[in-house]
Chain A
Amino acid sequence: MSIRTRVLAAAVAALLAGTAVPAAAKTFRFAFQGNYQVLDPYTLNETFTLGMHAAAYEGLTKRDKDLNIIPGLAERWEVLEPLRWRFHLRKGVKFHNGNPFTADDVVFSAQRVRANGSDLKTRLPADAEFVKVDDHTVDVVLKTPNPILHYEWDTWYIMDKEWAEANNAVNPTSASATTPSYAALNANGTGPFIVESHQPGVKTVWKPNPNWWGQKEHNLTEVIFTPIGNDATRVAALLSGEVDWIDPVPLQDIQRVNSNPNTQVLTGPELRTIFLGFDQRRDELKYSNVKGKNPFKDVRVREAFQKAIDLNLIKERVMRGASVPAGLLISPLLLPSGAAELFPPAKVDIDGAKKLLAEAGYPNGFEVTMDCPNDRYVNDEQICQAVVGMLARIGVKVNLNAQTKTRYFAKVLATGGYDTSFYLLGWTPGSFDSWNVLTNITGCRDDSGKGGPFNFGGYCNPKLDELSAKILVETDKAKRDALIVEAWKLERADVSHIPLHQQTLAWGVSKKAKVVQRADNQFLLYWVNKE
């Protein structure tokens, strides 16, 4: 290489580098199947919405890319004594309107999130007291020890007391409000993005917050969200490059999105577990031809059902490979380390199932009606149809009652009187912890739902309840983990429910964009980078 070409090359390189330096406008557009309905962070406890709030709002804690709890607006915290936690707040943080973030805002937010109209009341224990020590220190005084106190605080977003008071938004935007709330259409957090405009159901626009306290991990200059409800249109918008991210990609379109040179599907295990449940509370099933007794009270019948269901077949045929067969009612990612291997998915065993049914007194099977949603989970109705076919192999005739989620939940929830004999449900523990499932799904309940509100079938084992009460207050991690494993072993012996699988997340992403897919399916804008 002559000197002249070398000089030329250096000049060209310098030129290229020079042109690359100025920050070009990086607009990131994305579409979700549902709406971002309300900006008020306490109105709806739903994954996508909580993730969207995280652009403008922040909690005392955050969760990193692997769901580990890290400091957020609280720099650090310590458990002074089992009933007193101390949170040291970050200094120099400002809300979008310029107000400083102080302990008053934390105390205020703790009141507001537990006030009437909030859908996130369970983020904090109802009887926990928040005490301001100084401007940047808050003590939380508890009535009972709680090792997982701060597990869900990454989505308990801190609001500005002054702003809420000035705008008549001291109370959460309740479901039955008769006047529109200011906080429903306006946001004022401390987060990395500022909401520039929000037209509910149409479009939301964010701009980066130039005064954010943290280390920026995105390179965006503008973010635009539009809901696209129709599956085909959403996929088309991604393929044509109009949006950079969509969720979900329907299973049948995954191939298509991957074969497009500019897009790809990002898949990963989701935390939600899909399972089947049985009515074990009524003395006679409401929807069955067995009269005078309830076959599901017999553990042999439940086990027979489990043995008849081929989880791998459901994965291959119904889910097109996009699921992970489950051995428990909770994702293996959320179990204490090493515990997942103890609970492999159940194996199919038709002869064993028939034998168990015969022992239980139903050699010719029986008839039962199954309730199933058809627009709530990925391919939910098809899963139920597969289950119907599989149970037919052991002589059980299942009549499928699949309907839209609004009607399904109106029937099977406590408010509908738990009106079901056999059903399909999905559950994600909000705290990412077994205790949530052990109370909500397998805890004993009364007819109104006290105890285990989402235990539709009313399964009850007092020993399991005892264990779960111990898990709640045990602060020693090793002991607590051992208790969790013990509880799950007990639950498996009872076959309280039949775990089916964890769905696979399927995000459609433009190859120009880099995003972080977290297993809880929250889409967080502050980790997005665009070429």
Chain B
Amino acid sequence: MLAFIVRRALQALGVLFAVGLIAFAMFRFAGDPVNQMVGADTPPEERLAIREQLGLNDPVVLQFARYLAGALRFDFGISYQFRQPVAQLLSERMPATLELALCATLLALVFGILMGVYSALRRDSALAKLFQAISLIGVSLPTFLIGILLIYLFAVTLGWLPSNGRGETVRLGWWTTGLLTWSGLKALIMPSITLGLFQMTLIMRLVRAEMLEVLRTDYIRFARARGLRTRAIHFGHALKNTLVPVITIAGLQLGSVIAFAIITETVFQWPGMGLLFVQAVQNVDIPIMAAYLLLVGLIFVVINLVVDILYTVVDPRLRVTLRRPA
């Protein structure tokens, strides 16, 4: 087991190295950061001097090596735009993104499972058809459009919810949370729906299909024949077996929810890491871009590792193959 984890950790390092290298190779095509850091009438000599100071004239490999050397010491440089350490900026923004991702995932799980079960059990009811229609919207409408539609409905027309920002936040150590204030909770609703809608659709369809599949299996028929209550069959036996793939998918999707919060954060001006990244791209803020990409790479690697380990815990057969590799 330990050997397995060590092997996966080494692979993870390799993945991060590759992410960093690709990122640095791409930054050259993002434009010249210096022009975004100075005013319009800053003379060319000044611009060249700043380029030189930032080491942007060095070969990409050297820049990457220098960055790696810093990153190994957890020094991710200073943001070109804000003149603040990148590690500090990212850690300030991380709670916002994580809270949003968590709420979106919870929302997707709860409503996705409920709607999925309902539409599997009452396939022909009007409500099930409505759920299907909603799921179609969730899959087909782009996130930013859903966000803007929600804003115009609930913020501009009805005036119920704030159109942007995180509301009042409370500081708990280094973590800031919007979950403890009324305005923070209100601000969380629309971004969570926007971000979670796609996942919800996915889970709903998954649960529905799995449930229909399970309901056809023999043990459900036996259960019925034994005269168990329908409720117990549906929720005690069928749903439980449906949930295994759902949990796998939801876990894996958590990574993409965090990574793809970029669009939702941009639409709602949600002060998270995704928004920071988008602004960094617009201004060619290389230190932020690099650190964010590495962080997202790390999140994916960790989630995959955890899922792999959980598999071996859940399924004893996998442990055997691990011990004796084929």
Instruction: Tell me the chain A residues, 218-267 only, with Cβ under 8 Å from chain B.
Output: 226-230, 232-233, 236-237, 239-242
Per a CB cutoff under 8 Å, which of B51, B159, B163, B271 touches A202?
B271
C-alpha spacing A242/B166, complex, angstroms:
13
Question: Counting CB contacts under 8 A, is A154 at the interface?
Answer: no
Pick the residue among A199, A240, A427 that contacts B156 (CB under 8 A): A240
CB-CB < 8 A to B41: which residues of A? 45, 122, 430, 436, 440, 454
Main secondary structure of the interface of A (DSSP, over half): loop
CB closest residue in chain A, given B84 = A180
Asked whether, in the complex, the Cβ of A226 is within 8 Å of the Cβ of B164, the reply is yes
Asked whether A410 lies within 8 Å of B163 as measured between CB atoms, the reply is no
What chain A residues lie within 8 Å of B53 (beta carbons)? 174-176
Closest to B165 in A: A226
When each residue 110-138 of chain A gets 1 if its CB lies under 8 Å from chain B and 0 otherwise, what string results?
A: 00000000011110000000000000000
Which of these, B32, B50, B148, B269, contacts A175 with CB under 8 Å?
B50
B38 touches A242 (CB 8 A): no
**For the complex, is B235 an interface residue (Cβ under 8 Å from A)?**
no
Is B64 interfacial (CB-CB < 8 Å)?
no
With contacts A175-B80, A200-B82, A410-B35 taken as known, whether A415 is within 8 angstroms of B269 at the C-beta atoms is no
A240 near B84 with CB under 8 A, answer no
Are A415 and B155 CB-contacts (below 8 A) given A232-B148, A236-B163, A242-B164?
A: no
A162-199: which residues lie under 8 A (CB-CB) from chain B? Answer: 173-181, 184-185, 199
Whether A184 contacts B159 by the Cβ 8 Å rule is: no
Q: Knowing A35-B81, A415-B34, say if A406 contacts B47 (CB, 8 Å).
A: no
Q: Is B30 interfacial (CB-CB < 8 Å)?
A: yes
User: Are A236 and B279 within 8 A (Cβ)?
Assistant: no
Residue of A nearest to B44 (CB): A414
Q: Is B14 an interface residue (CB 8 A)?
A: no
- Taking a contact as CB atoms closer than 8 A, the residue among B29, B48, B81, B152 that contacts A236 in the complex is B152
Q: A45-B38, A239-B156 are in contact. Are A410 and B78 (CB under 8 A)?
A: no
Does B241 have its Cβ within 8 Å of any Cβ on chain A? no
Chain B, residue nearest A408 (CB) = B31
Selecting from A10-18, A36-44, A76-84, the interface stretch reads A36-44
Which of these, A184, A404, A407, contacts B82 with CB under 8 Å?
A: A184
Q: Is the Cβ of B39 less than 8 Å from the Cβ of A46? A: yes
Q: Which residues of A contact B44 (CB under 8 A)?
A: 413-415, 448-449, 453
CB distance from A432 to the nearest CB of B (A): 13
- A409 adjacent to B39 (CB under 8 Å): no
- Contact status of A229 and B269, CB under 8 A, knowing A175-B50, A409-B31, A415-B32: yes
Q: Contacts A233-B148, A413-B47, A449-B44; is A44 near B82 (CB within 8 Å)?
A: no
Are B42 and A236 in touch, CB under 8 angstroms? no
A44 and B271 within 8 A (CB): no
A352 lies within 8 A of chain B by Cβ = no
Q: Does B100 contact A (CB under 8 A)?
A: no
User: What count of chain A residues pass the 8 Å CB interface test?
Assistant: 62
Tell yes or no: B212 within 8 A of A by CB. Answer: no
Assembly CA distance A120 to B164 (angstroms): 34
Q: A37-B82, A232-B148, A406-B31 are in contact. Are A201 and B266 (CB under 8 A)?
A: no
Residue B268 is within 8 A (CB to CB) of chain A in the complex: yes
Is A416's CB within 8 Å of the partner chain B?
yes
Q: Are A232 and B40 in contact (CB under 8 A)?
A: no
Interface assignment of A442: CB less than 8 Å from any CB of chain B: no
A233 to B265, CA, bound (A): 11
Asked if A232 contacts B151 (CB within 8 A), the reply is yes
- Give the residue of B152, B266, B271, B283 whose beta carbon is less than 8 angstroms from that of A406: B283
Residues of A within 8 A of B148 (CB): 232-233, 236
Q: Are the CB atoms of A227 and B78 closer together than 8 Å? A: no
Q: How far is the CB of A80 from chain B (nearest CB, A)?
A: 30
Pair A241/B159 contact, Cβ less than 8 Å: yes
Interchain CB contact under 8 A, B84 and A416: no
Q: How far is the CA of A427 from the CA of B39 in the complex (A)?
A: 11
A184-B84, A233-B164 known; A240 vs B155 contact (CB < 8 Å) = yes
Interface residues of A in 398-425 (CB under 8 A from B): 404-410, 413-416
Residues of A within 8 A of B92 (CB): 199
Decide if A415 touches B48 in the complex (CB within 8 Å). yes
- Taken together as a complex, chains A and B put the C-alpha atoms of A179 and B77 apart, in Å, by 9
Interface residues of B in 21-39 (CB under 8 A from A): 29-39
How far, in angstroms, from A38 to B39 measured CA to CA in the complex?
13
Are A406 and B36 within 8 A (Cβ)? yes
Closest to B80 in A: A175
Tell me, yes or no, whether B91 is within 8 Å of chain A by CB. Answer: no
Q: A38 CA to B82 CA in the complex, in Å?
A: 6
Report A329 CB to chain B, min CB distance, Å. Answer: 14
Which residues of B are found within 8 Å of A414, using beta-carbon distances?
Answer: 44, 47
How far is the CB of A198 from the nearest CB of chain B, in Å?
10
Bound: A200/B89 CA distance, A? 9
Are B82 and A406 in touch, CB under 8 angstroms? no
Q: From the candidates A38, A44, A177, A180, name the one contacting B38 in the complex (CB within 8 A).
A: A44
Cα–Cα, bound, A410→B82 (Å): 21
Q: Which residues of B contact A38 (CB under 8 A)?
A: 81-83
Which chain B residues border A37 with CB–CB below 8 Å? Answer: 81-83
Q: Is A102 an interface residue (CB 8 A)?
A: no
Instruction: Using CB atoms, name the residue of chain B closest to A183.
Output: B83
B31 surroundings in chain A (CB, below 8 A): 404-410
A179 to B87 alpha-carbon distance, docked (Å)? 12
B271: chain A residues at CB < 8 Å are 199, 201-203
Instruction: Report the minimal beta-carbon distance from A146 to chain B, rounded to whole angstroms.
Output: 17
Q: How distant is B225 from chain A, measured CB to nearest CB, in Å? A: 58
Q: Which 6 A-B pairs have the closest CB atoms?
A: A45-B39, A406-B31, A414-B44, A410-B32, A176-B53, A449-B44
A-B contact pairs, 28 of them (CB 8 A): A35-B82, A45-B42, A46-B39, A46-B40, A175-B54, A176-B54, A180-B85, A180-B88, A181-B83, A201-B81, A201-B279, A226-B269, A230-B269, A233-B267, A236-B156, A237-B164, A240-B156, A404-B31, A406-B35, A406-B282, A409-B31, A415-B35, A415-B47, A430-B41, A449-B44, A453-B44, A454-B40, A454-B41
Residues of B at the A interface (CB closer than 8 Å) are 29-48, 50-51, 53-54, 77-78, 80-85, 88-89, 92, 148, 151-152, 155-156, 159, 162-165, 266-269, 271, 275-276, 278-279, 282-284
* Extra contacts besides A185-B84, A236-B152 (13): CB < 8 Å: A38-B82, A201-B271, A202-B271, A228-B269, A229-B266, A229-B279, A236-B148, A409-B32, A410-B32, A415-B34, A415-B44, A428-B40, A453-B44
